[in-house]
Amino acid sequence: MASRIVRAACPHDCPDSCALLVTVEDGRAIKVAGDPDHPGTQGVLCTKVSRYTDRTYHRDRLLTPMKRVGAKGEGKFAPISWDEALETVASRLSAIAARDPQAILPYSYAGTMGLVQGESMAARFFHKLGASLLDRTICASAGATALRYTYGASIGMDIEHVPDARLIIIWGGNPIASNLHFWTRVQEAKRRGATLVAIDPYRSLTAEKCHRHIAPMPGTDGALALAIMHVLMRDDLLDHDYIASHTVGFEALRERAKAYSPARAAELCGIDAGDIEWLAGLYGQLAVRERQPVAIRLNYGMQRSHGGGQAVRAVACLPSLVGAWRHPAGGLQLSTSGFFPVDNQALQRPDLLPGLPALPRTVNMSTIGDALLDAGDGQHGLVGPRIEALVVYNSNPVAVAPQSTKVAEGFARGDLFTVVLEQFRTDTADYADILLPATTQLEHVDVHKAYGHTYFLANNQAIAPLGEAMPNTEIFRRLAQRMGFDEPCFADSDEDIAAQAIVATDPRAAGISWESLKAQGWQKLKLPAAPLAEGGFATASGKCEFYSEAMRRDGLDPLPDYVPPYEAPATAPELAARYPLAMISPPARNFLNSSFVNVDSLRATEGEPHLDIHPEDAAPRSVANGGMVRVFNDRGSMLARARVTDRARRGLVVGLSIWWKKLAPDGKNANELTSQRLTDLGRAPVFYDCLVQVEAVPAAAAVPEPAAPALSS
C-alpha cells in the first residue's frame, strides 16, 4: 500500500500548537501522531487530537452546501449546489451592502488558529465589502491589554527552560487539561526539586498534583498579587538593580501595595493570610536572596471576571520586582504570540477598507446577544445600523458566547440573514440560512504561530477535501469573485498567502520562510534564552511600567489595583442573597471549547454535564452526589449531575464546559447563566463572574430527553 507521512500542525485553540505527522495511505489519513522531533510536542498528543481522524471522517461531517428548510434553530436543511449557495450569499450580501455594508457582520474566532484559514482571505473579503469590524475579545483581550500596558506586548519566558525553575506558580490555569506539554516540563522540574503551587478556586486535575494549592474566590487574584507585593516590599525581597534599570513607577506601586496587607487580602480572597506570607516569602527568598529561577504560568482563569485585566497586570509586575526575568527559567508566561513577526497587513489587507480614515463600526463579539437584539436604535448598546446579515466561521457563538439565551434569541430573528461555514452542524449551524461545508486541517494548507511556544509550523495538505467541502479561503475567494472584487489579492492561492504571513526581514524570522517550513514542518524563532533579562520592553519607556502613563491617558487607573467581581457579596449583596454561589465553567479535558463534544468517544469520557459542589453547600440544599440539580439565576438555568466534592471550595460551584447545548439533557449549557458584562481592560467577557443558586431536582421529576435528537448516526 502506498503510504506517506505529511508534516502538519494542530489547528486548535491551545497554547501547545503541536507538530503533527499524518500517515496517509491511498489518499486516506489513517493516523495522526505528534512529531517526536518537535521539542514542544515530543511525540505526544492529547486524547482529542490523537483522534483527529475521528473528526475528519466523522459520520456527521457537513459535505455539501445546504439551505435551511425548517425554523431557525431547528436544524432542518436540504442540500443545494455550490452555485446556488454562493449566488444566494453574494446576492443577499450585495443587496444589504448597497444600503449600508456595516449591517453585515463577520463572526469568527479560533476554530482554527491557522493564519491562512483564519483571518486572511475572509478578512480581505469583509474589508473590501466595508462590513462591520469584529472586536475579537472572547478569550484573551483582558490579559493581552494588561500585558501591553505593562510590557508592551504579549511576550514572556520560553517554557523550554521551565525544567530548570525552582518554584513554579500555576496561576489560573489547568495545564493537565489545557496546556499538556507545559505540564510535561513542570513534572520534569518537580523531579529536579522544584516547588509547584497552584492558585485556583477549584482543585483542578493540576492543582491536586501541586505541592500547595491556594484557592481564592474567583475574581480576587488582583488582591492576592498586591498582597504578595506588599510582603516583598515590606521584607525588602526586591531586586533593586532590576527595578532601577528596567522599571518605572516603583514608588507609586509601593504606595498602592501598602493598602493590601496579607490580612486584608486574605479576607477579600477568602484564604489564609499565612498562605500569602508563605508564597511571597518563598518567591522573594528564591529569586532575590538565592538568585534562583522562579516562574509564573499565568493563565486565563483569572481573566474572566470584572477585574481580570488589572489582576493580570498585578501578577505581571511580580517578576520585575524580584528580577526573575534575569534567568531563562524565570519570569512569567501568559502568551508568546507577541514574539511572532506576522504580516497582518499582507494577510488581512486593511488598506482595502473603504473610506479610510472613517473605519466601519466595531462590534464586540462578547456581547453578540445584545448586538443582534438591537434594532439599530442603540437600546442594546449597538452603535450604528441594525445587524442584517451575519457570516460565522471558525466559531460556535450560540454555545460559547455569554448569556446565550440572548444569543439564541438574536440568531432566531426572522429578518437576519445568517451564513455559517462549518465542519459540523453545531448549535450555531442550526440557525443558518445557508450552511457551507468547511474542510478540516488534514484537507487544507496553513501556517501557524503559537501562543505557548516560539515555533512557526507548517500544515501541509494531507488528503483531498471530503465531499464538496472547501477551505474557508476558497469559499471567500469564490464569493469575492461573484461580488466582482478584482484586486489581485483575491486570486492568491493558499500557498501564496502562507508565504505572505511571515515578515522575512525581521531578525527573529531569520532563515524561516514558507518554503523552509513546508519541508521541515516547524522552525523556532531566533530569540535570546532569557529575552527580557536586559529589559528592552516594547512600552513607550522601554521599561516594565508599574505606573502606566498610557493608561492614565486612556482614562484608566495607571497602577495595578484590585477590581472586585461584579457578582459577589461585597459588590452585589442583594443579588448574592438570592444567588449565593459563584459559578465557573472552565474547559473540560476532553473538549476543546465546544469542539470535539460531538466525537462520541470523547463525550463518553466526560459523560454528561456535571456540577461540582462542596459538601457543606450541598447538604443544606439536599443535593446528593449523583443527583440531578438545577443551576439558575435571573438569566437562565441548566440541569447537571451533581458531584459532591471538596474539589470545589465552599461557596463555589464548577461546571466543566463547553457542552453543545443539543447534546445536553435539557438543551442548555453553562452560558445560559453567564452575563454579557465586560472586564475592566480589553472589553472581554466575564464567564467566571457569575452568581447562581442550585436546587436538587427530585428524582420523580424525570430528566427530559435531549432537546434535539442526538446527531444522526
Binding at 559: pick from Mo ion, ligand MGD, none (beta carbon under 5-8 Å per type) = none
How far is it, in rounded angstroms, from Cα 292 to Cα 284?
10
Smallest separation, CB 441 to ligand MGD (Å): 7
Tell which positions 288-327 bind ligand MGD, by CB under 6 A: 299-302, 305
Quickly tell me which residue has 432566531 as its cell: 412
Report CA-CA distances (Å) from 162 to 180, 289, 332.
14, 20, 10
Which stretches does DSSP call E strand in 301-416? 331-333, 362-364, 389-393
Q: Which does 171 bind (CB under 5 to 8 A by kind): Mo ion, ligand MGD, none?
A: ligand MGD
The region of 96-104, 144-152, 583-591, 675-683 touching ligand MGD under the rule CB under 6 A is: 583-591
The Cβ-side half-sphere exposure at 673, using a 13 Å CA radius, reads: 31
Nearer to ligand MGD among residue 382 and residue 419 (C-beta):
419
The only residue of 594, 633, 675, 676 in contact with ligand MGD, by rule CB under 6 A = 594
Residue whose CB is less far from ligand MGD, 177 or 226: 177
CB of 174 to ligand MGD, least distance (A): 4
**Out of 29, 400, 602, 640, the residue judged to bind ligand MGD by CB under 6 A:** 400
Contact partners, residue 517, CB within 8 Å, separation at least 6? 447, 456, 457, 458, 523
Distance CA 647, CA 640 (A): 17
Site string for ligand MGD, 139-178 (x = CB under 6 A): x-------------------------------xxxx--xx
Residue with cell 436540504: 78
**Cβ-based nearer residue to ligand MGD, 467 or 542:** 467
**In 10 A of CB 467, how many CB atoms?**
11
Q: Would you count residue 139 as binding Mo ion (CB under 5 A)? A: yes
Nearer to Mo ion, 460 or 669 (CB): 669
- Kindly state the helix (H) or strand (E) to which residue 267 belongs, with its residue range: helix 262-269
28 DSSP β-pair partners: 25
Are the beta carbons of 267 and 564 closer than 8 angstroms?
no
Spell out the residues 6+ positions from residue 577 whose beta carbon is closer than 8 angstroms to its own. none
Part of the chain binding Mo ion (CB under 5 A), chosen from 138-146, 288-296, 667-675, 691-699: 138-146
The CB-of-218 to ligand MGD minimum distance in angstroms stands at 4
Yes or no: say if 431 and 391 are a contact pair by the CB < 8 Å rule: no
Hey, which residues between 643 and 682 contact ligand MGD (CB under 6 A)?
Answer: 657-658, 670-671, 674
Chosen from ligand MGD, Mo ion, none, partner binding at 598 (C-beta under 5 to 8 Å by type) = none
Residue 440 CB, nearest distance to ligand MGD (Å)?
A: 7
Residue 498 engages Mo ion in binding (rule: CB under 5 A) = no
Residue 668: half-sphere exposure toward Cβ, Cα within 13 Å: 23
Within 13 Å and on the Cβ side, how many CA atoms surround 174? 18
Q: Shortest distance, CB of residue 300 to Mo ion, whole angstroms?
A: 6
Q: Which of positions 217-276 make contact with ligand MGD (CB under 6 A)?
A: 218-219, 221
Which of the residues 432 through 491 are near ligand MGD (CB under 6 A)?
A: 438, 472
**CA of 587: how far to CAs of 423, 430, 594, 670, in Å?**
21, 23, 9, 11
Nearer to ligand MGD, 166 or 213 (CB): 213
Minimum CB separation of residue 467 from ligand MGD in Å reads 14
Q: How far apart are CA 686 and CA 93, in angstroms?
A: 33
Rounded-to-integer distance, Cα 325 and Cα 287, Å = 10
> What is the signed CA dihedral for 84, 90, 91, 93, rounded to 10 degrees?
140
Phi-psi map region of 627: left, alpha, beta (phi>0 left; psi -120 to 50 alpha): beta
Instruction: Name which of 156 and 293 has its Cβ closer to Mo ion.
Output: 156
88-127 mask for ligand MGD (x: CB under 6 A)? ---------------------xxxx----x----------
The site that binds Mo ion (CB under 5 A) totals a number of residues, namely: 1
How near is the Cβ of 424 to ligand MGD at its closest, in Å? Answer: 5
Report residue 444 as a C-alpha cell.
487544507
Stretch that binds Mo ion, among 133-141, 307-315, 349-357, 375-383 (CB under 5 A): 133-141
> What span, in angstroms and rounded, lies between the C-alpha atoms of 540 and 538?
7
Alpha carbons 653 and 280: distance in angstroms, whole number: 28
Q: Which does 395 bind (CB under 5 to 8 A by kind): Mo ion, ligand MGD, none?
A: ligand MGD
399 binds Mo ion (CB under 5 A): no
For Mo ion, which is the closer residue by CB, 132 or 395? 395
| Interface contacts to ligand MGD, rule CB under 6 A | 13-14, 109-112, 117, 138-139, 171-174, 177-178, 199-202, 204, 218-219, 221, 299-302, 305, 393-396, 399-400, 421-424, 426, 438, 472, 584-587, 589, 591-595, 657-658, 670-671, 674, 687-688
Binding stretches for Mo ion (CB under 5 A): 139
